[in-house]
A = this chain, B = another copy of it.
């Protein structure tokens, strides 16, 4: 009984799924019903895109590697600056300082407020103007989700990331879903810039949309972050220095020898296959499900990631 309970996969690694999953009551003459497994099993190689090593970060922690895809289409200055910080070794040996349950894990310089002890920044910028949102533009694809949203007039996917937009204002922004990477900041909107980073590890805090610069998402290894002991201080900060988790290194994947890279590819969000996946999530046809809801929320649609077919990257 145990293993049959709660068939489902909110987080899914396509490689681990079985290529079946058809509902047993499907008439023989009709096309097979769409399930997550059947949609992924039917994808073509061209439905997938490799991660761009120049926009991929590896965070090496005692618990393993976290792989982050950056979103230069939404926050080009933050992406450039965090890469500059990574390349000057800014994060190496710093710590994860905060783990707030159902919210975020955050890392950076625990001495940032101490002018004597803080880590110097060499070429990168200490702060940047906010990139909370950007203009809707013809060269930024947007695959809409028709099912509605509490927080934004329109939601969907742009360049592989969950996004929202407001046609009236002409602005678009990344949505804070589980796994989203953001730039911590102080009360001044321009006080962030990438020296403090956080990742969402709980129910999607969509009230952060346009309140901080979101500029990437974890595509592998989020469990290394989500299982960290929660901090017992205010806002989930660790109260004692020894509770902080050391960052062995942060690297841009392009700087990592090929043999040490992890080769991943992501389902393109502008494909028919992704449209089928949305439908498979909207109306779950796995035998376990008894209700077909007919709707799905933006952050409940997984963006599948799998090991690349060839180890080229």
Contact = CB atoms under 8 A, between A and B. Distances in A.
A212 interface: yes
Looking at A101, A191, A208, A212, the one whose CB has the most chain B CB atoms below 10 A away is A101
Interface in A176-225: 177-179, 184-187, 189, 191-192, 195-196, 198, 202-212, 222-223
A22 to B, nearest CB: 14
B150 A297 contact: yes
A230 B227 CA distance: 8
Interface stretch (A76-84, A104-112, A271-279): A104-112
Q: Is the interface of A mostly helix, strand, loop or mixed?
A: loop
A191 B11 contact: no
Interface in A59-75: none
Given A10-B103, A11-B102, 16 more contacts: A1-B191, A2-B97, A2-B108, A3-B113, A3-B234, A3-B237, A5-B185, A8-B208, A9-B235, A10-B203, A102-B179, A132-B290, A132-B291, A147-B150, A203-B204, A227-B230
Interface of A: 1-11, 16, 97-98, 100-104, 106, 108-110, 112-113, 130, 132, 147-151, 177-179, 184-187, 189, 191-192, 195-196, 198, 202-212, 222-223, 226-230, 234-235, 237, 281, 284, 287-291, 293, 295-297, 299-300
24 contacts: A1-B195, A2-B97, A2-B237, A3-B235, A3-B237, A5-B185, A5-B196, A5-B198, A6-B104, A6-B184, A6-B235, A10-B100, A10-B203, A10-B205, A16-B234, A102-B179, A102-B222, A132-B290, A148-B148, A150-B295, A178-B203, A187-B288, A207-B284, A207-B300
